[in-house]
Structure 1
């Protein structure tokens, strides 16, 4: 099991992790250290345990907010997929002459691409906020 040296609150720690999780552990420790430093700057001198507790609570709050945003994005994506299915069914069952049907198909394709791009931007935004 690999061991990684991390620094949090000015102290160094050796922490074991699963193979392949080293970068994630370093990233998590960096976030905790950054939050602890920010709290120390804002609140002044705190005991190490109080500073780490506050930093952990702040990170947990951020994680909770990200989970809420992710759930909303998932719901929005599900709604968009349902709308695409509905429009596709409506288009398939329509008795519109060929040229008009082709125009609607092009419009449907553009709408589908727009929805996919919006979903991709939402996913990128969530990934950026999570990092």
Structure 2
């Protein structure tokens, strides 16, 4: 286990993590710090707890937007895939109809 210190909203937090995760956690802490700072700038004099609350709300809002956008993209891709499959099925049916027509025309010519 590794130990690292995160700096968020003017405080230092010593935490344990898996070896090699220190840089990733420092990056995540910097994202939280950025949002906490934005909250402080928007409402000066805010308590540490309140600035962390707003940081969490800002991050949750961004996550929610990303999830919604991802779901919309997935739905769009699914519709495109459905359209492609339908087009392929129609094309296969058209080929089969043409073969049946050709077979019937050949029978009619032989008769």
* Structure-2 change in CA distance of 1:20 and 1:75 (3 Å): farther
* Cα distance per residue 1:91-120 (max 9 Å; x no partner): 2332398xxxxxxxxxxxxxxxxxxxxxxx
Larger radius of gyration: 2
Separation in 1, partners of 2:30, 2:51: 15
Report the alpha carbon displacement of residue 60 of structure 1 after superposing the two structures with TM: 1.0
Q: TM-score, normalised by structure 1?
A: 0.64
1:85 and 2:85 aligned? yes
- The total of aligned residue pairs comes to 97
Separation in 1, partners of 2:9, 2:29: 10
Report the alpha carbon displacement of residue 18 of structure 1 after superposing the two structures with TM: 3.4
**Ranges in structure 2 where 5+ consecutive residues have no aligned partner:** 99-111
**Which SS does the other structure have where 1:94 is aligned?**
helix
Q: Which segment is superposed worse, 32-41 or 85-94?
A: 85-94
**Ranges in structure 1 where 5+ consecutive residues have no aligned partner:** 98-131
Task: Give me the CA root mean square deviation.
Answer: 2.1
* Structure-2 change in CA distance of 1:93 and 1:71 (3 Å): same
